[in-house]
Amino acid sequence: MRIEENISLQPFNTFGIGETAAYFCEASTMEQVRLALAFAKEKGLEKLILGSGSNILFTRPFDGLILHINNKGIEVLSEDEEQVVVRVAAGENWHQLVMTSLKNGWYGMENLSLIPGSVGAAPIQNIGAYGVEVRQFVRAITYLDSETCQPEHILAEQCNFGYRDSIFKHELKGRAIIWAVEFTLHKNPAPKTEYGDIRKVLEDKGIGHPGPHDIAEAVIAIRRSKLPDPAEIGNAGSFFKNPVVVRNIFEQIKIQFPEVPSYPAGSDTVKIPAGWLIEKAGWKGRRFGSHGVHERQALVIVNYGGASGNDILRLSQDIQADILQKFGIQLQAEVNMV
């Protein structure tokens, strides 16, 4: 295992922010993680675990140790006629896992196609798209406790999964290094087409009885048409979570904007798309030199090239202040700030 010094983080985050890390190392075995933790402890360094850097904003030089998890492997733990349980290493690529699952006839995750990132990060914010969340498939997680250096096993029921939320953003934040995730996948397809434009895309292609491969293709096509590709324009997907507001606040907004979209989110609360609020407030497509709000998706802040993490952060704060002033809603960032 090699610990590099003073490296640029630009290739390691999809925003393409060029901050530096004082120390950086890649770990593909638990022993390497333990050695890296011992190194950080000896030097008294701050630690940060990094997957593919697709949900992170670096706003300062990181003067500690960045540990990039890169273990590999997909293993079938058990299987019957209806289900398969697979154990997947944290360093595997998420989209590749979805594609491999489809190829093997393991279904359910096709609506989560093309989400960037690593398998290990997927449970942290309980990734979700097109009406499906990863928690529906997670059975258990193995993590290395960074304080005891011992592996721990936690069941999905103990992970407190919520909307873009889990125990790994709270009690276990900074402590659990996710090492492998166990998924239960299904052998009988149950396509979910009701969300977003999936049904419309399938109808346009003349597909009346879609299978999981059709769903994956439709999701990939929709995502490619709506979201900027980080390989071309730096971004981290949705910058903010969709706010969940109490019904009377929603009713007040509705008086002024009768067309406000919403989804039920509890007995007395509704979820409002943050992208709608930001677009309505006039931010969509606004550019400030090196960075701005994407022209096709108001929820995505982009780095056109050369923006600093603080440029992006300041823009996000300006948007938050404006939404608070116009709608009385405090937007929460989905992206992790460092």
Ligand X SMILES: Cc1cc2nc3c(=O)[nH]c(=O)nc-3n(C[C@H](O)[C@H](O)[C@H](O)COP(=O)(O)OP(=O)(O)OC[C@H]3O[C@@H](n4cnc5c(N)ncnc54)[C@H](O)[C@@H]3O)c2cc1C
Q: Count the alpha carbons within 13 Å of 171 in the hemisphere toward its beta carbon.
A: 7
170 C-beta neighbours (distance < 10 Å), count: 9
- Contact pattern for ligand X over residues 83 through 122, marking x by CB under 6 A: -------x------------------------xxxx-xxx
In the complex, the smallest distance separating the C-beta of residue 165 from ligand X, rounded to whole angstroms, is 11
In the complex, the smallest distance separating the C-beta of residue 35 from ligand X, rounded to whole angstroms, is 17
Beta bridge partners of 5: 23
Q: How far apart are CA 182 and CA 156, in angstroms?
A: 9
Under 8 Å CB-to-CB from 331, ≥6 apart: which residues?
240, 241, 243, 274, 277, 319, 320, 323, 324
In the complex, the smallest distance separating the C-beta of residue 142 from ligand X, rounded to whole angstroms, is 11
Residue of the chain from 9, 25, 50, 329 that contacts ligand X (CB under 6 A): 50
Residue of the chain from 51, 108, 191, 212 that contacts ligand X (CB under 6 A): 51
- Contact pattern for ligand X over residues 295 through 334, marking x by CB under 6 A: ----------------------------------------
Query: Which CB sits closer to ligand X, 121 or 260?
Result: 121
Angle at the Cα of 19 from the Cα atoms of 226 and 335, rounded to 5 degrees: 40
Q: Does 48 bind ligand X (CB under 6 A)?
A: yes
164 is catalytic: yes
160 C-beta neighbours (distance < 10 Å), count: 16
Q: Does 36 bind ligand X (CB under 6 A)?
A: no
79 is catalytic: no
**For ligand X, which stretch binds (CB under 6 A), given 38-46, 171-179, 199-207, 275-283?**
171-179
- Alpha-carbon distances, residue 94 vs 84, 88, 100, 148 (angstroms): 18, 10, 10, 28
Closest-CA residue to 155 (of 173, 131, 175, 135): 135
Amino acid type, 74:
I
Q: How far apart are CA 293 and CA 278, in angstroms?
A: 9
In the complex, the smallest distance separating the C-beta of residue 168 from ligand X, rounded to whole angstroms, is 6
34 is catalytic: no
Q: Does 142 bind ligand X (CB under 6 A)?
A: no
Q: Does 156 bind ligand X (CB under 6 A)?
A: no
- Contact pattern for ligand X over residues 223 through 262, marking x by CB under 6 A: ----x--x----xxx-------------------------
Query: Which CB sits closer to ligand X, 253 or 311?
Result: 311
Find the catalytic residue in 118, 146, 238, 316. 238
Find the catalytic residue in 164, 166, 182, 316. 164
- Contact pattern for ligand X over residues 176 through 205, marking x by CB under 6 A: xxx---------------------------
In the complex, the smallest distance separating the C-beta of residue 178 from ligand X, rounded to whole angstroms, is 4
**For ligand X, which stretch binds (CB under 6 A), given 124-132, 245-253, 291-299, 304-312?**
124-132
**For ligand X, which stretch binds (CB under 6 A), given 50-58, 203-211, 265-273, 312-320?**
50-58
Catalytic sites, residue numbers? 164, 238, 334
* Residues of the shown chain interacting with ligand X in the complex, contacts defined by CB under 6 A: 14, 48-56, 69, 90, 115-118, 120-122, 124-125, 127-129, 176-178, 227, 230, 235-237, 336
